Every structure is written in C-alpha cells, then in structure tokens.
Amino acid sequence: MTRESAFSFSIDQLSKHLERAERILFVTGAGISAESGLPTYRGIGGLYEDRHCNDEVPIEVALSGAMFQQRPEVTWRYILELERTCRGARHNQAHELIARFERHFEVCVLTQNVDGFHRDAGSSDVIEIHGNLKHLQCTRCGHGQEVVNYEHLDRLPPLCDECGGVIRPRVVLFGEWLPEPGVERFRDKLEQGFDLMVSVGTSALFPYIMDPFVAAKSSGTPTVEINPAETDLSSLVDFRLPTIASDALARLWRLIDT
C-alpha cells in the first residue's frame, strides 16, 4: 500500500468511527502551533534539537524548577525567548477546526502548549496541563495577573509590585508537578470515557500523554495520531495521519460536515 492509499484507508475507516462517536479527546502539543510560526521543541522544525542556551546549559536545565529556584534570571531568559516567539502570533486553522468539532461532538482538549491558542480559537473545554504563559504569579505573596505579552517586563527576573517577590509564569517547569486541578479534571474525563482519541503534533514523551493511549488500546477505544513525523505513539495508535495538523483535521472535518 502506498503512503497516500494508506492515508485514504485510514480516513475511510475513521469516517465510520466518527459516525458513531459522541465524545472526542484531542491531545495536542507544540506541533499544532507550528503553523502559527511557533517553533516546536523536538521533531520537525524543532528549535531546541541539541541546542544549548547562552548560559551553556541544556534547555531542560534552564527551564527547570530547580534552576528557577537558584537562578531565576536564567530561566526567565528562556521563558522570554519562548514568549517572544508567541508575540504577534495567533491560533491557526488547526485550532479553529478542533473548536468547530464542538458543533457535532462533545470535545475535550488536553494541551501541553502554553500559548493559550485553543481558548483563543473558541474551544470551550480545554485543560492546559502545562499552564499558560499569560498568567503571571508572585512566588512570595501569590498575587496573580493576566498579561497580553511580556513587553512591559523591564528587568529579569521581574519583581512583584506588591511585595518585591520574584514573579513567574504559571507554567510547569521541567521537574515540577502538574497542576492538581487539571490532573483531576483529566482523570474525571478519562473515567467518563471517550469514543475517539486524537493526538495532534506531540512527541508524546511524557507518560501522562502516552498512558491514556495505552489504556485506550486495552479498552478498544480507537486512537489517531496526526504528526508528519513518527513518534513513540505511532506504532500504538490505530490510525496514523502523517501530515500537518491543519491538513489532517480539515480532511476529518470534511467527513462529518457533509
């Protein structure tokens, strides 16, 4: 079977699953925002493949909770770099298509992205499991603020107006725990069950991303991966759509919107 005929076969089979489905889970990663011009970490177009930052530490170290504790300015330099790539960028057709799926299905989005694009595009049930760059919080007094971008930050690390404590974005740094409310909500959703689970643009390295797909395999829930490159999920899913997010989602959308 050629790549294109394998693709068509997957789409045909998926059409049957979509006809019966009521509840769909989308699990998204940096790849869905690649078409908005945001670099991914790894895989196709990965900005940080083997890259070290100016501080001569690997990105996972610079962006770790431990580094933030010791040298918050190092972590902040990286966070600022990430935020700058988001500045001026907006959600793309892939985010919009996922939001549009709500016209036909009950949709839950679990995203690892911190760009807030799923909500911007209109998805109503989004679990931002790694937080959101636009939410800042003082590490000392807990004072929180919502920002549009970081243009106004004139020193690193930024300090709280109320108490002088170090401010941080409410995102999960490497080595930190996931936010409990998000984890619980996701657990509840998984318990209720899904009729279809779709991974979009993630290298699925984290166990909490991979595990639900492993569980789906034993419960017989059909699974899909949308990613132009192969990942650890690829051999596990029932259907692989090896193309960019907007293309694959547009093809799925055409199946239901007839």
Note the residues at the interface with ligand NAD (CB under 6 A): 29-31, 33-35, 38, 40-46, 112-115, 130, 201-203, 226-229, 231, 244-245
Is residue 130 among the annotated active site residues? yes
Which C-beta is closer to ligand NAD: that of 34 or that of 138? 34
Size of residue set near Zn ion by CB under 5 A: 8
**Spatial CA neighbour of 72 closest among 189, 4, 169:** 169
Least distance to ligand NAD from the beta carbon of 93, Å? 11
Q: Does 129 bind Zn ion (CB under 5 A)?
A: no
**Spatial CA neighbour of 94 closest among 249, 208, 225:** 249
87 contacts 149 by C-beta, under 8 angstroms: yes
Catalytic residue (one of 91, 130, 143, 152): 130
DSSP letter at 87 equals T
Which C-beta is closer to ligand NAD: that of 11 or that of 229? 229
- Tally of CA atoms within 13 A in the half-sphere of 102 that contains its CB: 16
Of all residues in the shown chain, the one whose CB is closest to ligand NAD is 31
**Spatial CA neighbour of 146 closest among 161, 135, 156, 157:** 135
Other CB atoms within 10 A of residue 72 CB: 18
Which C-beta is closer to ligand NAD: that of 33 or that of 75? 33
Which residue in the set 8, 54, 151, 163 belongs to the binding site for Zn ion (CB under 5 A)? Answer: 163
249 contacts 227 by C-beta, under 8 angstroms: no
Q: Does 44 bind Zn ion (CB under 5 A)?
A: no
State whether residue 132 is helix, strand or coil.
Answer: strand
Contact set with Zn ion (CB under 5 A): 138, 140-141, 143, 160, 162-163, 165
List residues with catalytic annotation: 130
